[in-house]
């Protein structure tokens, strides 16, 4: 864990460890107004982007905006299914967060989202990129 992560909104060390090697996401810390408290979230790709290659580009200082063109910003949340009352831990798209906002509608249309409860299959009404296994 790096400095500042434990104070980040939405950060859970056990959950973070399970997301560390996820093939479709990269964990991020951001803030709305600096130096305000950090917000923990993920950048998620559903198009098969080579994130190992992206990691190397970032490390080498060669990444640019185009490398993140198909990503969505999502935050860990706990939701309750209105139909079956199942408690679900999810990575949900924060449609009010300003990160990657310019073409968010296009990104949402292109992204493979989960919109149904995995327990009862009812519509959840929230754009979810992943269910987090508990």
Q: Is the pTM of this model over 0.85?
A: no
Rounded Cα distance between 77 and 128, Å, is 10
> Does residue 1 surpass a pLDDT of 50?
no
Q: Where are the beta strands (DSSP E) in 61-131?
A: 72-80, 87-93, 114-116, 123-131
7-42 pLDDT, tens digit per residue, is: 655 555 556 666 767 778 887 777 666 666 677 788
What does the domain layout of the chain look like in residue ranges?
5-131
Rounded Cα distance between 129 and 9, Å, is 19
């Amino acid at each position: 864990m790096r400095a500042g992560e434990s104070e980040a909104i939405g950060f859970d060390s056990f959950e973070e460890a399970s997301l560390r090697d996820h093939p479709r996401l990269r964990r991020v810390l951001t803030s709305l107004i600096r130096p305000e408290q950090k917000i923990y979230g993920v950048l998620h790709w559903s198009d098969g982007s080579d994130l190992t290659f992206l990691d190397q580009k970032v490390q080498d200082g060669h990444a640019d905006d185009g490398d993140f063109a198909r990503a969505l910003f999502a935050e860990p949340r706990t939701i309750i299914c209105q139909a079956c009352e199942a408690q679900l831990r999810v990575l949900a798209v924060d449609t009010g967060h300003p990160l990657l906002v310019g073409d968010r509608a296009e990104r949402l249309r292109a992204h493979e989202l989960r919109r149904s409860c995995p327990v009862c299959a009812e519509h959840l009404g929230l754009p979810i990129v992943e269910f987090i296994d508990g």
